[in-house]
Amino acid sequence: MIEPPDTTYHALEAELAECRRADAQIQRKIALLTAIIRIFRETMVCASEEDVARIGLQVAEELTGSAFGFIGELNPQGHFDTTTLSEAGWRACRVPRAEAFEMLRNMPNRGINRIGLREGKSWIINDPAAHAESIDKPAGHPPLSAFLGVPLRYVGGITGMIALANKDGGYTPDDQQDVEALAVAFVEALNRRRAEKMIGELNAELGRHVLQAEAANKELEAFSYSVSHDLRAPLRHIAGFVELLHKRDLAPLDEKSRHYLQVISESAQKMGVLIDDLLAFSRMGRAEMLHTKVDLGRLVPDIVAELAAQEAPERNIAWEIAPLPVVGGDAAMLRLVLINLLANALKFTRPRAVTRIAVGTVDASSGEISFYVRDNGVGFDPQYGDKLFTLFQRLHGQEEFEGTGVGLANVRRIIHRHGGRTWAEGLPGTGATFWFALPKQAEE
């Protein structure tokens, strides 16, 4: 049998060695991917951040063949707030746990542990005792024969480190690369657990707020019942007895006494109106919204016709109604908004010989469309403009203009429920403009 030339034999040996190296690299990558998958899979059911850290540390120890290790997270003062020592580490450590935790907290500032944190990169020391940064270990500290430290990073900064120790034969650059990849997976798993914890806390807080809101709604319903029944009964009695007095012979009464009766009757009527407005305001906050397409171009002229016929048939009113769009929202609620704004415009323009009221829109923003009701009425001092939409706040006396101070508060509540906003502009004696804006998604 003819032997192959030496050159051919050596070439085959080299090719076989290269195949073995490639196979080893493939096996290492498979082991790394398996470890990363394990971190993500097993930490999904962890009940705490400490459990996540224990799994991450255990996986890193098994992947690298380390005897033990720890994970520490840095606080702003440069110490470890959260530290996790592996079970193998606790078995090797003869230092009492309280002292061991205190020692771990100070690790970032002691010996070889601070090298990579200071320089911001991973570090390998396979002869710790001979290293220049090495320090004496306390009694009970396990001896170190090899050390690998990898910083934990998040949003570009170092948040802590993984430390592994005592791999037989020492650590290699391949070990360093593997643990750096594991560190990324560990940080992601830890932050996922923290996000889940935060979401759980937020959901619990939301649940508490829901319960509080339900309790408040029940109290509000009880209040509404009390208002509608308990307060109305004495009002009916007052109004009824005043009416009975009016039906009797009032001749024995002097002018002042008759005036007193008139004041009592009017006050009872005003109280009834206020109760009605309060109940409407209360219901508006609890009523379910029915989202439909609302054609303001048809709605506004209908309201104008109703108000003009009811409140101002003899007045000289110039209406300027611009083309209005179709919006999305609750038709009954938006109708109430427009009724309040237009009725206000009619009320506060009574002193004018010619009333001018304009309704229109301004599309000045990409996210919303604004609607206005402008009049040439008595106006208001702009420094008190924010009070206009507050419950019971009025800028004019009852003797000048009637009202309960509830209408504009209802306007704001309705528009806010539609995701919009309200505001007003005006000057004394020059009229006022009331605005509300709705999101364009609602419009569509």
Q: List, as one string, the DSSP characters of 12-45.
A: HHHHHHHHHHHHHHHHHHHHHHHHHHHHHHHHTT
Q: What is the pLDDT of residue 175?
A: 92
Q: Please report which confidence band the pLDDT of residue 443 belongs to, taking 50, 70 and 90 as the band edges.
A: very low
Helix (H, G, I), strand (E, B) or coil at 291: strand
- Please determine, for residue 356, whether its predicted confidence score (pLDDT) is greater than 60: yes
Looking at residue 352, its pLDDT comes to 85
Q: Which whole-number Å values give the CA distances from 204 to 44, 198, 211, in the listed order? A: 20, 10, 11
Q: What span, in angstroms and rounded, lies between the C-alpha atoms of 307 and 317?
A: 12
Residue 425: both structure tokens together: 């502009």
pLDDT, residue 164, reads: 93
Write down how long the chain is.
Answer: 444
Q: Do 360 and 371 meet the contact criterion of CB atoms below 8 Å apart?
A: yes
Beta strands in 41-127 (DSSP E): 68-74, 80-85, 123-125
Q: Which two tokens stand for residue 32?
A: 């790394």
Q: N- to C-terminal Cα distance for the chain?
A: 89
How far apart CA 440 and CA 369 sit, in angstroms, is: 6
Q: Are 339 and 373 in contact (CB under 8 A)?
A: no
381-402: pLDDT as tens digits:
777 667 777 765 555 545 555 5
Residues 354 and 408: their CA atoms lie apart, in Å, by: 24
pLDDT digits (tens, 9 = 90+) for 280-305: 666 665 666 677 888 988 888 988 88
Q: Which fold has domain 288-443?
A: Heat Shock Protein 90 (3.30.565)
User: Residue written as tokens 């992601």?
Assistant: 188
For the CA atoms of the chain, what is the radius of gyration? 40
Q: Buried b / exposed e across 90-115, counting CB within 10 Å, b at 16+?
A: eebbebeeeebeebbbebbeebbbbb
In a 13 Å sphere around the CA of 155, the CA atoms on its Cβ side amount to 1
Contact status, residue 304 vs residue 267, Cβ threshold 8 Å? no
Q: Could you read off the pLDDT of 173-215 as tens digits, one per residue?
A: 999 999 999 999 988 988 888 888 888 888 988 888 888 877 7
With cut-offs at 50, 70 and 90, classify the pLDDT of residue 96.
Answer: confident
Asked if the model's pLDDT at residue 60 lies above 80, the reply is yes
What are the beta bridge partners of residue 438?
369
pLDDT of residue 442: 45
Helices 6-43 and 49-64 meet at what angle, rounded to 10?
170
Instruction: Tell me which fold the domain 23-199 belongs to.
Output: Beta-Lactamase (3.30.450)
Query: Would you kindly state where each structural domain of the chain is located, as residue ranges?
Result: 23-199, 288-443
**Residue 217: per-residue pLDDT:** 67
| Mean pLDDT lowest among 219-228, 407-416, 431-440 | 219-228
| The predicted structure's pLDDT at residue 147 | 92
| Rounded (10°) CA dihedral 338, 339, 340, 341 | 50
CA dihedral of residues 27, 33, 39, 41 (deg, nearest 10): -110
Is residue 310 classed exposed, middle or buried when 0-12, 13-18 and 19+ CB atoms within 10 A define those classes? exposed
For residue 362, is pLDDT > 60?
yes
Q: Is the pLDDT score of 310 beyond 80?
A: no
